[in-house]
Structure 1
Amino acid sequence: MRVFFISNNKFIGEIPRLICNTSTIEILDLSNNSLSGTIPECIGNFSKSLRVLDLRKNRFHGTIPETFPKGNNLTTLNFNGNELVGSVPRSLLNCANLQVLDLGNNKMKDTFPHWLGTLRELQVLILRSNKFYGHLRDYEADYYFSKLRILDLSNNNFTGSLPAMFFKNMKAMTDIGEVADENKSKYMGKTYYEDSVTLIIKRFHGEIPELMGKLHSLRLLNLSQNILSGNIPSSLGDLTDLESLDLSSNVLDGVIPRELTRLTFLAVLNLSRNKLEGRIPEGNQFATFSSDSYGGNLGLCGFPLSKNCSNDEPPQSSSVLEDDSESETGFGWKVVLMGYVCGTVFGMILGYILLSTGNPQWIMGIVDGKNHRKVRRQNKKLEGRRN
């Protein structure tokens, strides 16, 4: 027997010790059951052919056995979602072909297992929701986590800042196209990390390293719920494959870099609950994000927020421009139009009176009197010139 699948059932009880007598199994999948007890000591060495060991989402307690021998063929170890305690077993250094190590959602307590960086085939490292603590260290070895595509350190008790050199040698995250399909484990399950290049880190302080902008293959970057300060690096605009960016719940300040509008694949953006300020950049994917992406940043303004920026002016309409021209000349087209209308109405009334009364004498007298006075004024002027 090479494959043993009993996943997604309701099996209870412990793993039978008889399994240690099986030497040909390549894939052992006991996930998504209600199995309990401790993990047998033989689990790592009962079969030299074992490639996949999946015990996730059960009720196992105790520690992970320290019995992974040299020369084993393990590529996937998944202990996610149990009640395991203790530290990461050092015998994992014997798993030279290990590609996936998922220890998430347990109760393990240890410092960051930096020595796992020497496993040159490791692509997925999930430590989320445990009790890991301490600092991340800088390492400059060329092979250090060089094939890592997914790193999830969220919901632990790590402290300190994010060391720039920690990310420098993550070449699988740095080089676009570096991670080809043939390099991925064929048995990774239909989990959330199957096709992603992901970095999730929480509980750190300090600034976001500029070097993160060199992780060009990243699809998801989640640095939320840290105590990160300073500006958002403009270099994050170089992460052109990025689909999700979450920097929420930090103390980041300054403006949102316009370079982020270059992220044309970005579908999720969360910059809420920081101290960002200034105008929200416009263009490309930024036209699709709602105000929820920026909530809790009292200094931000512009679309999609209801708060206009202080130097924003609504576009002037033609009526505004016309009103401005009136203010310069003292009167405008409205005054002229009123005078024209009044004059027309008066003329029509006067014409009607003339036609209906047959040239009334009082009107002709007014006209003749005006003409007579005008002639007299002109004659007096001529007499004065002669004298």
Structure 2
Amino acid sequence: MNQLNSMIPFELGLCTDLEYLYLDHNFLTGELPSSMSNLSKLVELNLSSNSLSGELVPHLIANWTQLTSLSIDNNNLTGKIPSEISLLTQLHHLYLSNNQLSGRIPSTIGDLKKLSKLVLLKNHLSGLIPSTIGNLSELIVLELSDNYISGSIPLEVGHLTSLSGVLINFNLFHEPDTLSIFCNVTSLLHLSLAHNKMNGLIPKCLGNNTSLIILHLGNNQFHGGIPESLCNACDLQNLCLSDNYMSGVIPKCVGNFSNQLSVLRLDQNNFDGPMHREFCSSSNSLAYLIIL
């Protein structure tokens, strides 16, 4: 690991044949020099984990049309994600997390038809998720946690049948029946919507996601019981429903439906009835059980 601690020199923009540029995990400061717009042959650009500042101005990124991977996470970028991001039509991976980006996610994000990973967590993004995100048919990972995004998750997200990870914790989503959007996304392995203001029932059809490994719905306002259909997720390792308004008897199958289940959190709800012996079965792998 190096410890470069200067600004990115303007002269870097003279290296117009550059295809791969990795300057991540240094101590680089300042804004991206405008001369970097000359690097039109870039295929991969990684500036992660520095102290870069300033904005992603449109003229800077407009010529990066060959980029397949853009990583500027863990910096101090400010301003909005420019709508001109749509010009990067070859992009597969977009990592802008842990900056100070604000404003809405631009609707033009839906033009990035080859995008498989969209990671924007830990910013100051607000507004709604644009419905055009449903155009990203190759999207595998969607990470928007730790922002100020509100409203509802657009129905179009439910059409993204390649999704394996959706992490949208610590936002301001509040619409009821949001979970039903994911009922037919059977490729899901990780669904985390914790620390929002979601309400309504957990739908029975969520049990269609039989490949789920992690399901985090804690710190919301869900009510009603745990649908037994969740026990169809026989590979589930981590189930968190804590800090909601759920009630009723905990289904017997919750204790033994998965030999892989190691974390089960049902605390801070209104469940009643018996604690089933299945929770203590020698065949399960529970290491973390909280039912306060």
Shift, 1:17, TM fit: 1.2
Deviations 1:35-74 (A, max 9, x none): 1111131454322320000111100000011113457210
Query: What is the root-mean-square deviation of aligned Cα atoms in Å?
Result: 2.0
What is the CA distance between 1:264 and its match in structure 2?
A: 1.0
> Which digits, 9 at most, give the CA deviation of each residue in 1:85-129, with x for residues without a partner?
111112212211000111111111111323201210011111111
Pair 1:219 & 2:213 matched: yes
Distance (Å, rounded) in 2 between the aligned partners of 1:138 and 1:13:
40
Share of identical aligned residues, percent? Answer: 29
Matched, 1:235 2:229: yes
1:226–1:249 Cα contact (<8 Å) kept = yes
Distance 2:44 2:149 in 1: 29
Return the match for 1:151 from 157, 166, 188. Answer: 166
Q: 1:6 to 1:70 in 2, by over 3 A?
A: closer
Displacement of 1:289 in angstroms is 4.3
In 2, distance between residues paired with 1:82 and 1:294?
36
Whole-Å separation in 1 of the counterparts to 2:116 and 2:287: 36
In 1, are the aligned partners of 2:110 and 2:134 still within 8 Å (CA)?
no
> Partner of 2:13 in structure 1?
none
Superposition map of 1:285-364 within 5 A = 288-289=286-287, 293-295=290-292
Decide which structure has greater helix share. Answer: 1
- What is the alpha-carbon distance in structure 2 between the residues aligned to residue 11 and residue 61 of structure 1? 16
1:109 corresponds to which of 123, 126, 136: 126
Conserved? CA contact 1:249–1:272, under 8 Å: yes
Q: Which moved more, 1:276-285 or 1:225-234?
A: 276-285
The structure with more strand, counted as a fraction of residues: 2
- The aligned amino acid for 1:279 is P
**What is the TM-score with the length of structure 1 in the denominator?**
0.66
1:167 counterpart residue number: 182
- 1:28 pairs with one of 45, 49, 55: 45
1:68 counterpart SS class = helix
Corresponding residue of 1:125: 142
- SS of corresponding position for 2:42: coil
Deviation, structure 1 residue 251:
1.2
1:40 equivalent to 2:57? Answer: yes
**What is the rounded CA distance, in whole Å, between the counterparts of 1:47 and 1:211 in structure 2?**
42
Q: Any conservation in 1 of the 2:207–2:232 contact (CA below 8 Å)?
A: yes
Higher mean displacement: 145-154 or 223-232: 145-154
Q: Secondary structure at the match of 2:35?
A: helix
Distance 1:56 1:129, change over 3 A: same
**Aligned equivalent of 2:268, options 256, 273, 284:** 273
Choose the corresponding residue for 2:253, options 228, 235, 259: 259
Preserved CA contact (<8 Å) 2:80 2:104: yes
- Matching residue of 1:80: 97
Question: Highest relative contact order (Cα 8 Å, sep 6+), 1 or 2?
Answer: 2
Secondary structure of the 2:137 match is coil
Q: How many residues align?
A: 269
What is the TM-score normalised by the length of structure 2?
Answer: 0.86
Correspondence for 1:209: 203
1:198 to 187, 190, 198: 190
Report the counterpart of residue 52 of structure 1 in structure 2.
69
In 1, Cα distance between the equivalents of 2:101 and 2:173? 19
